[in-house]
Amino acid sequence: MYLPFEDDLFDELIDEFARSAPAIRRAVPYRPRRIRRDEFDFMEDEFELLDEFDLMDEFEFGSPGQRPRPVRANFVSCNRPNAAIRAITGPDPVGVIQAANTRAIALLDGAINELTAERNRVVRAGAAPASVRVGIRGALERRFRMNALDRRIWTGTGARSVLILIRRLRGARQILADGWMRYICLGLPTIDFTLGGIRCRSDPNDGCVGDTVAAACGGASQIVLCRPFWRGLSNSVQNRDFQASTLLHEALHIYFGFIQDTGIFANAHCYEQFVLDVHGLPAQAGFEAACA
């Protein structure tokens, strides 16, 4: 079953903002350096532009062509780990986070570039949607219930269009690539911090407990990592793609401005799994049904 296509970008933005306001999170998509009320006003006139992708210049580090900044060691809470922390994170936690961040950006770049190329073929060269790579069509249908054979999802700029997906993936890249992300290496059972005037607080004993891998709050450029980010159930070191998809997932939460998922087009699991699909990688174990 496909969700209906809508060709109204402004309605999409208003709807997205309205869904994005849990008590401890801000309802405005943002760049971590600052949050402005008019940050995304330029999007309202997008449909008037001859080339929609001119607006992507607004995301300096959202472009796959922009070299990302490195993770800042002084933005990582365990940049000088003691013995107890090293036993979990390994001797170089900053290096692990940097490697995961680099991989996450590479995964995003691959998905952004392929979606953009396929969209350009349809929009500019008049290619038939049926000519789009089968893996891309399948991922769009599986993760977003988009009818990939409907030309309008490729040419449109509205709520359920490929352009919206590209923008959101670029938003996640912006957050990971601009060098402003902070990391708490081992979060507490109850997460409670304030950053940039934004308070991020979990329910009591509902933070880094059990199999929780990581957490983030919209509007706060900080990711709280939990033990499972570093170690699996058998205490084995987690693989790079697992860690990368975790950072990608949390960046999407931050971009959307909320943590709790409501609907396919505001569900970080769907975007994460779409990116993994594009690269032929499996969804994280235990989260296969999270995008439904």
As a whole number of angstroms, the distance between CA 144 and CA 129 comes to: 16
As a whole number of angstroms, the distance between CA 64 and CA 51 comes to: 18
Residue 255 has which token pair?
């971009």
Examine the pLDDT at 45 and tell me if it is beyond 90: no
**% of the chain surpassing 70 pLDDT:** 77
As a whole number of angstroms, the distance between CA 139 and CA 145 comes to: 9
Examine the pLDDT at 59 and tell me if it is beyond 60: no
| pLDDT score recorded for residue 27 | 26
| pLDDT score recorded for residue 259 | 32
> What are the two backbone dihedrals, phi and then psi, of residue 223, each rounded to the nearest 5 degrees?
-110, 130
pLDDT bucket at 48, cuts 50 / 70 / 90? very low
SS3 199: strand
Q: 249 exposed, middle or buried (CB, 10 Å; 0-12, 13-18, 19+)?
A: buried
pLDDT bucket at 98, cuts 50 / 70 / 90? very high
| pLDDT score recorded for residue 126 | 93
Q: For residues 188-196, give the mean pLDDT.
A: 91
Tokens 């950072």 belong to residue: 247
| pLDDT score recorded for residue 2 | 57
Please state whether 145 falls in left (phi above 0), alpha (psi between -120 and 50) or beta: left
| pLDDT score recorded for residue 97 | 99
Q: For residues 257-271, give the mean pLDDT.
A: 65
As a whole number of angstroms, the distance between CA 196 and CA 66 comes to: 26
Domain range list for the chain: 9-31+38-278
Q: What is the CA radius of gyration of the chain?
A: 19
**% of the chain surpassing 90 pLDDT:** 61
What pairs with residue 195 in β-bridges? 198
Q: How confident is the prediction for the chain on average, in pLDDT?
A: 80
Residue 88 has which token pair?
């979990």
Examine the pLDDT at 40 and tell me if it is beyond 90: no
Examine the pLDDT at 258 and tell me if it is beyond 90: no
* Terminal-to-terminal C-alpha distance of the chain: 12
For residue 192, how far is the Cα from the chain centroid?
A: 22
| pLDDT score recorded for residue 42 | 34
Give the contacts of 268 (CB within 8 A, at least 6 positions apart): 249, 250, 252, 253, 256, 261
Give the contacts of 280 (CB within 8 A, at least 6 positions apart): 135
Residue 250 has which token pair?
């949390």
| pLDDT score recorded for residue 32 | 31
Q: 93 exposed, middle or buried (CB, 10 Å; 0-12, 13-18, 19+)?
A: buried
Tokens 């199999």 belong to residue: 211
pLDDT in tens, 216-244: 988 789 999 999 999 998 999 999 999 99
pLDDT bucket at 198, cuts 50 / 70 / 90? confident
pLDDT in tens, 108-166: 999 999 999 999 999 999 999 999 999 999 999 999 999 999 999 999 988 789 998 99
